[in-house]
């Protein structure tokens, strides 16, 4: 019974880690894209610099909101901090990998 629960935790962590990596890639892409558009206005049409700055803020805020919901320990639901390859939850000590 306990072994099965731990497998669920491992699977849960793996799913969260995958989602987190996708979110990091998307956030980086959006921030880089708006930085490129900021330097070269007119590449994809007429963006105002204010709108690009706003888009960057929205992308970063969305990423942080997603992270705070997703990047949690599957066992104790506490935030896992900045290490994407965390092996053990530092709050409850559950092995995550």
Q: What are the percentages of helix, strand and coil residues in the chain, rounded to 5?
A: 60, 5, 35
Nearer CB in complex with Zn ion: 37/73: 73
Under rule CB under 5 A, residue 96 binds Zn ion: no
State yes or no: residue 19 binds Zn ion (CB under 5 A): no
Q: Which residues contact 62 (CB under 8 A, 6 or more apart)?
A: 27
Pick between residue 27 and residue 89 the one whose CB is nearest to Zn ion: 89
Q: Does 88 bind Zn ion (CB under 5 A)?
A: no
Size of the chain, expressed as the number of residues it contains = 97
* Region from 17-25, 34-42, 58-66, 75-83 binding Zn ion, contact rule CB under 5 A: 75-83
Q: Is 76 one of the binding residues for Zn ion (CB under 5 A)?
A: yes
CB 83 within 8 A of CB 20: no
- Tell me the closest approach of the beta carbon of residue 96 to Zn ion, in angstroms: 8
Q: Round to the nearest angstrom and report the end-to-end CA distance of the chain.
A: 18
CA distance linking residue 87 with residue 93, whole number of Å: 9
Residue 9 makes contact with Zn ion by CB under 5 A: no
Q: Which residues bind Zn ion (CB under 5 A)?
A: 73, 75-76, 89, 91-92, 94
């Amino acid at each position: 019974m306990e072994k099965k629960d731990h497998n669920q935790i491992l699977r849960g962590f793996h799913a969260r880690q995958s989602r987190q990596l996708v979110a990091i890639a998307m956030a980086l892409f959006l921030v880089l894209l708006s930085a490129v558009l900021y330097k070269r206005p007119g590449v994809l049409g007429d963006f105002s610099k204010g709108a690009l700055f706003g888009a960057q803020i929205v992308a970063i805020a969305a990423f942080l909101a997603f992270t705070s919901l997703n990047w949690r320990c599957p066992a104790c639901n506490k935030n896992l901090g900045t290490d994407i390859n965390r092996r053990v939850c530092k709050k409850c000590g559950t092995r995550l990998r």
